[in-house]
Amino acid sequence: MTDNTVISDAHARVIRLLEARGLCVQEEIDFPPFRVDIYLPDHHACVEVDGPHHGARADHRRDAELLRVYALPTFRIEVDEIDGLAWLGALNDFLAVVEATKDERWDAVSMKVPWL
């Protein structure tokens, strides 16, 4: 099977910013039936970069399903907010919260994601 995933400029910019802050980043990781834009394995959390095609209702359902099935919390960044960098403070707050439960969440789902 060939993976034809193309990383957008916005995704690439977010990835560079996360890596510059010392975060371990994996791109375009499958959590069937979904694929997350950016997976942060050290936090067992994901980051989604939302462009104009995203719908709040569908994203909310998707986030809830990722949390329910994979214990995977999601942090969302709007494309038009990337360059402002204000989201980095909110991401730090998000990571501080999920850090407290990462081991417990990972232990609960590690068998569901043997490819990680």
Q: Dump pLDDT digits (tens) for 32-87.
A: 999 999 999 999 999 999 877 767 889 999 999 999 999 999 999 998 888 888 89
Strand, helix or coil for residue 13: helix
Range with the poorest average pLDDT among 3-7, 41-45, 80-84, 100-104: 3-7
Burial class (CB in 10 A: 0-12, 13-18, 19+), 54: middle
Distance CA 51, CA 38 (A): 14
Cβ 48 vs Cβ 59: under 8 Å: yes
Bridge partner residues of 81 (DSSP): none
Distance CA 66, CA 62 (A): 6
Model pLDDT, residue 7: 60
Model pLDDT, residue 105: 96
Cβ 83 vs Cβ 57: under 8 Å: no
Mean pLDDT of all residues belonging to the chain: 90
- Of the candidates 50, 108, 97, the one whose C-alpha atom is nearest the C-alpha of residue 73 is 97
Q: Is the peptide bond before 114 cis (omega within 30 degrees of 0)?
A: no
